[in-house]
């Protein structure tokens, strides 16, 4: 798998229009080479560090095709649903949750990153685009994109490749991940295999540990 970065975005914390709550979902295109540090693009920011940013949410990748999918479903927000509009750092064509896997390792520019978890959408998406129901739709369909951790720092610029360089033989796709998570009573053994996927973010390991324990007890 080899993708081309068609959009590269970063942003700073600012008030959300309407209610003033801090957000960094408003990203703007960046030009030239950008440094990639352990916590993402140098110069990019996150407002609520409890749920955004950090080593296991260093870089957000969102497929450009999904914006068109959402625009068709939410026509009132179509004018704002363009690459960069969901807080992503990378936009590409040609890959989505059905084609990438937990633990995938990619070369990005001169850096190396690992896909470690899906993004979970939050209230800021609806506040940003002014429509109700979008966050739920994204969550239900498992189409919020994904996060990378940075294995090796480097630099990136618009037009660079995101190239798959390592994938475990039995790694689950993000689509399979969400399908299992959304089951009412999934098989604990299947959840355990998911939990033990190499590269999965620690926060998801903890969530799955709790759900597995509950299912086995009940």
pLDDT digits over 115-149, tens only? 999 998 887 888 888 888 988 989 999 999 999 99
Helices (H), 152-201: 174-181, 188-195
pTM: 0.94
Q: Which residues, in sequence order, are CB contacts of 11 under 8 Å at separation 6+? A: 24, 25, 26, 27, 28, 44, 45, 87
Q: What pLDDT band is residue 2 in, cutting at 50, 70 and 90?
A: very high
Q: Which residues, in sequence order, are CB contacts of 45 under 8 Å at separation 6+? A: 10, 11, 12, 13, 24, 53
Report pLDDT for 51. Answer: 64
Which of 36-40, 112-116, 123-127, 192-196 bottoms out in mean pLDDT, i.e. has the lowest?
Answer: 123-127
Work out the mean pLDDT of the chain and round it to a whole number: 92
Is residue 14 pLDDT above 90, yes or no?
no
**Residue 154, both tokens:** 């480097």
Report pLDDT for 163. Answer: 98
Q: What pLDDT band is residue 200 in, cutting at 50, 70 and 90?
A: very high
Report pLDDT for 93. Answer: 96
What average pLDDT does this structure show over 140-164? 96
**Residue 84, both tokens:** 């960069």
Report pLDDT for 26. Answer: 83
What are 75-87's pLDDT values in tens digits?
988 898 989 889 9
Question: If we measure between CA atoms, which residue out of 119, 122, 83, 72 comes closest to residue 100?
Answer: 119
Half-sphere exposure of 200 (CA within 13 A, CB side): 20
Residue 15: its H or E element: strand 14-15
């Amino acid at each position: 798998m080899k993708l081309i970065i068609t959009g590269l975005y970063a942003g700073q914390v600012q008030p959300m229009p309407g209610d003033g709550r801090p957000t960094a979902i408003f990203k703007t295109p960046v030009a030239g080479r950008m440094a990639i540090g352990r916590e993402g693009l140098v110069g990019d920011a996150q407002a609520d560090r409890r749920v955004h940013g950090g080593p296991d949410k260093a870089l957000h990748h969102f497929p450009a095709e999904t914006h068109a999918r959402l625009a068709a479903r939410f026509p009132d927000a179509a004018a704002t649903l363009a690459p960069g509009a969901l807080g992503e750092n990378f936009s590409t064509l040609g890959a989505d949750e059905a084609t990438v896997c937990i633990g995938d390792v990619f070369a990005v520019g001169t850096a190396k990153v690992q896909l470690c978890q899906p993004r979970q959408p939050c209230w800021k998406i609806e506040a940003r685009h002014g429509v109700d129901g979008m966050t739920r739709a994204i969550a239900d369909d498992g189409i919020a994109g994904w996060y990378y951790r940075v294995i090796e720092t480097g630099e990136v610029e618009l037009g660079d490749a995101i190239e798959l360089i390592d994938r475990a033989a039995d790694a689950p796709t993000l689509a399979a991940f969400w399908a299992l998570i959304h089951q009412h009573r999934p098989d604990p053994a299947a959840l355990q295999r998911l939990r033990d996927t190499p590269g999965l973010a620690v926060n998801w390991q903890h969530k799955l540990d709790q759900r597995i324990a509950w299912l086995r007890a009940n």
